[in-house]
A and B are shown apart, each in its own frame.
Chain A
Amino acid sequence: MEKKESSREIGEERIIALEGTDLDVSESGASEILKYVSQFSRLDGSSRSPATFDGAQTAWTMLSEEKFLPCITTSCLDLDNILGGGIRCREVTEIGGVPGIGKTQIGIQLAVNVQIPIEYGGLGGQAIYIDTEGSFMMERVLQIAEACVEDLSEYGHLRKDAQDSQVKMHPNNVLQNIFYFRVCSYTEQIALVNYLDKFVTEHKSVKIIILDSVTFHFRQEFDDMARRTRLLSEMALKFMKLSKKFGLAVVMLNQVTTKLIDGSFQLALALGDSWSHMCTNRIILYWNSNERFAFIDKSPSLKSASASYSVTSRGIRNSTSSSKRIKMM
């Protein structure tokens, strides 16, 4: 039975081929070997299921991966709740809305929050911020970074056990962990997406890529819409691959356009119908009676829901009216 070891490795088909030939074993002896070996494959509980393809996974193994998917908080509890904890890694999330609603603000908040140390429940990662519109203002990033560091040190004081190992985060460190790219044309945007594989391989701590906005350069220069769709589709696939390969979150900010639906003009996210399919999750930011809301328009795993948020001098936070409601309860 010393052949048993090698048989397990060779695989069951080959055992059948060996039957009665090289091994000089009778047919009944070969079927004994097969039975014995297959018992072992079931017993050792390896994840090698009978019919797997290269690169495929069973839903069961994916479930255990998904359970431990890290999330990046948005600093707004209501928003985190409808997102199931926050912006998820290994997924591409699109966030769109009218000008001034807070897309860049959320982008900057995420670039800061991804850096929250693991001891405080964060990912301790770095961020890549791809700016296509020039809306990334350093003063604002510094404001949000300072507020985050203050909040963390306040939390650190509350956690009396962490006194010794209190992580010293400085706002300048936060800024140092944000890799900034300024893209001035769609060619540069495509080139950058192609280059990111190499970049992230060299900077393994990157846990989020924010693209602000995916729309700007693709809105201005295209006569051939079919070409635009092909290029966008290739770009979305590359981002998807990046997010799966490196286990990071991709957030794409999108602009708004008007569309004729059912005889009336309505708002819709830009870049067309084909684009609307390309991201995993789609969140729309909108105004409703003087408050900002986020609505989950499309997601394979999250329920369609709205949550209000506000943009403060410290960054994205819960909206004040919702905190009032909680107090009243």
Chain B
Amino acid sequence: MANKLINEMGLPKRMANIFAARNIITAKDALSLTEFELMELLDVGLAEVTSAVAHISEVVCPPCQTALYLMEHRAQHENLAGHLPTRLKGLDDALCGGIPFGALTELVGPAGIGKTQFCLKLSLLASLPPSYGGLDGRVIYIDAESKFSSKRLIEIGIKSFPEIFHKKGMAQEMAGRILILRPTSLSEFTESLHQIKLLILQQQVKLLIIDSMAALALGEESGASRQQALGWHVSFIKSLAEFSRIPVVVTNQVRSQIVDEACLYPFQVAQCHAGKKHNSAGYDSHLVAALGISWAHAVTVRLVLEAKSGQRFIKLSKSPVSPPLAFRFKITSSGIVLLDNIGMELKGSDINTIHFQGQNTLFSFEGEKLQ
């Protein structure tokens, strides 16, 4: 929309020529200048500029739909009104059906907690035929850390859906729907994004998984350029999800919290100094999600996986449709399994802190310690 050409918008010929003469070709070029700047640049009066801008704006403006229309349209045309069920009952109930379409869902947690296991299960679920609750579609799996294990994928499939996978050739068909890409740098990933976009629009792709975003982004030089690059990718991936109405799942790493981490506003600091009691969100563990606060704003749903007192939890820590909830889980041969169907409500600092005790122990899939 932003790249629509001005000379195709039906502006009066004189104005269209003036825009072209000053090298303002797309709507984005025109609207990136204030009306005053346009007046100066084009050397025309304010009234003409205002009416030209109003015309351009009307053409480029996104369409209006009532919330009712959207809801009914999605209920009719999309699987479960726009959700991919995870088969984890408590989580699906909290998310009103499952992982939402058209939005970014983040899985964040320390290494070895089960993020990739979750992603493998989701890939399978998306490729299953609708009679088994799947999306009957292809999956694009961006494997930046080389963690994808086809063997494990098939094992999960056989253990979770024995009826399908024991049929001849089904395993091949299901696994054949999952396309794995292994970019080694952010720029490679950026290049492949454009191809991915085409694939998504053409070939019935129903799920995009990026495992992990942190590995791609953190490989770049840090600082402002990394924030910029990440920002561009977030925008692109989000609008891709929107247009194609598919779920996008992104995994993220954790990092230790800097002791001096910003957690108060200036007015709270002033209250502290004035002696008012302020219960600062004291973190007793020191892990937080990587990629920063602007990333945290950009994701629509955030699932935090953590381990505390020997028990693993999956926390729905940010969601537009549910309060923050935590569920206990374990990893079995058929993937992640919830131990509670009703989550525990979380408040305050519990929501975003990430615990990982027992960092040095290895767990097998059955939860037994291996060492």
Q: List chain A positions with a Cβ less than 8 A from chain B.
A: 98-100, 104-105, 129, 133-143, 172, 175-185, 187-188, 190-195, 197-199, 213, 215-217, 219-221, 223, 227, 230-231, 233-234, 255-259, 261, 264-268, 270, 284, 286-291, 295, 297, 304, 311-313
> Which residues in window 211-255 of B have CB below 8 A to A?
228, 231-232, 234-235, 238-239, 241-242
**Size range of the interface on B?**
35 or more
Give the residues in chain A near B267, CB-CB below 8 Å. Answer: 284, 295, 297, 304
Interface contact A182-B57, CB-CB below 8 Å: no
Return 13 A-B CB contacts under 8 Å, by A number: A99-B302, A142-B71, A184-B1, A185-B239, A187-B32, A191-B57, A191-B58, A192-B57, A197-B54, A219-B231, A220-B228, A256-B297, A265-B262
Query: Nearest Cβ in chain B — how far from A148, in angstroms?
Result: 14
Give the residues in chain A near B302, CB-CB below 8 Å. Answer: 99-100
Query: Nearest Cβ in chain B — how far from A188, in angstroms?
Result: 5
Q: In chain A, what residue has the closest Cβ to B296?
A: A99
Give the residues in chain B near A304, CB-CB below 8 Å. Answer: 267
Is B7's CB within 8 Å of the partner chain A?
Answer: no
Is B207's CB within 8 Å of the partner chain A?
Answer: no
Interface contact B323-A311, CB-CB below 8 Å: yes
CA distance A139 to B294 in the complex (A): 26
Q: In chain B, what residue has the closest Cβ to A128?
A: B64
Query: Nearest Cβ in chain A — how far from B200, in angstroms?
Result: 16
Contact with A along B49-79 (1 / 0, CB 8 A): 0000110111111111111111100100000
Give the residues in chain B near A134, CB-CB below 8 Å. Answer: 102-104, 238, 241-242, 300
Q: In chain A, what residue has the closest Cβ to B101?
A: A134
Query: Nearest Cβ in chain A — how far from B323, in angstroms?
Result: 7
Give the residues in chain B near A133, CB-CB below 8 Å. Answer: 238, 297-298, 300
Which among A198, A199, A289 is the interface contact of B348 at CB below 8 angstroms?
A289
Q: In chain B, what residue has the closest Cβ to A288?
A: B279
Interface contact B232-A290, CB-CB below 8 Å: no
Interface contact B231-A184, CB-CB below 8 Å: no
Is B264's CB within 8 Å of the partner chain A?
Answer: yes
Give the residues in chain A near B335, CB-CB below 8 Å. Answer: none
Of the stretches B133-141, B153-161, B183-191, B314-322, the one at the interface is B314-322
Q: In chain A, what residue has the closest Cβ to B321?
A: A140
Interface contact B32-A176, CB-CB below 8 Å: no
Interface contact B268-A185, CB-CB below 8 Å: no
Interface contact A219-B294, CB-CB below 8 Å: yes
Known pairs A138-B74, A290-B349; A191 contacts B96 (CB<8 A): no
CA distance A260 to B277 in the complex (A): 23
Query: Nearest Cβ in chain B — how far from A259, in angstroms?
Result: 8
Query: Nearest Cβ in chain B — how far from A241, in angstroms?
Result: 12
Interface contact B265-A286, CB-CB below 8 Å: yes
Is B202's CB within 8 Å of the partner chain A?
Answer: no
Q: Lowest 7 CB-CB distances: which A-B pairs, in order?
A: A290-B348, A194-B57, A289-B279, A220-B231, A187-B2, A265-B262, A175-B68
Which among A100, A221, A231, A313 is the interface contact of B351 at CB below 8 angstroms?
A100
CA distance A98 to B281 in the complex (A): 13
Interface contact B58-A198, CB-CB below 8 Å: yes
Interface contact A179-B349, CB-CB below 8 Å: no
Q: In chain B, what residue has the closest Cβ to A195?
A: B61
Known pairs A133-B298, A184-B1, A267-B263; A195 contacts B100 (CB<8 A): no
Interface contact B66-A179, CB-CB below 8 Å: yes
Give the residues in chain B near A185, CB-CB below 8 Å. Answer: 1-2, 28, 235, 239
Query: Nearest Cβ in chain B — how far from A297, in angstroms?
Result: 6
Give the residues in chain B near A129, CB-CB below 8 Å. Answer: 67
Give the residues in chain B near A258, CB-CB below 8 Å. Answer: 262, 293
CA distance A220 to B228 in the complex (A): 6
Is B34's CB within 8 Å of the partner chain A?
Answer: yes
Interface contact B294-A264, CB-CB below 8 Å: no
CA distance A178 to B71 in the complex (A): 12
Interface contact A175-B235, CB-CB below 8 Å: no
Interface contact B320-A137, CB-CB below 8 Å: yes
Is B261's CB within 8 Å of the partner chain A?
Answer: yes
Query: Nearest Cβ in chain A — how far from B315, in angstroms?
Result: 11
> Which residues in window 251-294 of B have CB below 8 A to A?
260-269, 278-279, 281, 293-294
Q: In chain A, what residue has the closest Cβ to B265?
A: A267
Known pairs A184-B239, A194-B53, A268-B266; A176 contacts B293 (CB<8 A): no
Query: Nearest Cβ in chain B — how far from A102, in angstroms?
Result: 10
Known: A138-B70, A181-B62. 19 other contacts (CB 8 A): A98-B296, A138-B71, A175-B68, A175-B71, A178-B66, A179-B64, A184-B239, A187-B2, A188-B62, A191-B60, A192-B62, A198-B58, A220-B235, A233-B34, A234-B34, A234-B35, A266-B266, A291-B348, A295-B265
